[in-house]
Amino acid sequence: MKTKSKLKGVKPTKGKLLKEKEVVSIDAFQHPVFCFKYIHQDFDLNHCTADEKVALIEQIIRLSGMTWNDIKLAPKHGLGSEKITISAINAGLPEMLTEDVDHLLALRFLGKAPFVGWRNKFIFHIFYIDRGFTLYKH
């Protein structure tokens, strides 16, 4: 007859192989975290070529290694950002934006092609991938 272990389902909390988890405060995040949840259907990844998708991911990886302050100080057509007024956007805006938001940020990939979104603390919500330069007047 097989006996049941009294420890079944119990996970050890200490030991040589376990390391204590570091708890990071949200306020300590200095680098961007990217979110695609609110991306506009006319400016999403489905409209990008394979090369554009790769370039976008590579740029997101580079930007993820920087702080928001580094991005702010970088040239706007490199690893930096550019403010775009809401009134300049030629596409529908996500419902999650409130009336007090007066600008979005454009970050670049594949040369000068922008991906545009809104920064909320450390999260950058990507709303548009403007590969054809049609989202706003350039």
C-alpha radius of gyration, the chain, whole number: 21
The range of the structural domain enclosing residue 75 comes to 30-129
C-alpha 96/C-alpha 4 separation (Å) is 52
pLDDT score recorded for residue 18: 62
Residue 2 has pLDDT above 90, yes or no: no
The reply to whether 66 falls in a domain is yes
pLDDT tens digit sequence for 69-91: 999 999 998 888 999 999 999 99
The DSSP result for 49-78, as a single string, is: -HHHHHHHHHHHHHHHTS-HHHHHHS-TTT
60 CB-contact burial (10 Å; exposed 0-12 / middle 13-18 / buried 19+): middle
The reply to whether 136 falls in a domain is no
Nearest 5°: the CA angle 124, 114, 119 is: 15
Residues 6+ apart with CB under 8 A from 35: 123, 124, 125, 126
User: What is the model's pTM?
Assistant: 0.80
The reply to whether 124 falls in a domain is yes
Place of tokens 């609110």: 38
The reply to whether 53 falls in a domain is yes
pLDDT score recorded for residue 29: 79
Q: How many independent structural domains does the chain possess?
A: 1
pLDDT score recorded for residue 10: 63
Average pLDDT, the chain: 89
pLDDT tens digit sequence for 24-63: 677 777 999 999 999 999 999 999 999 999 999 999 999 9
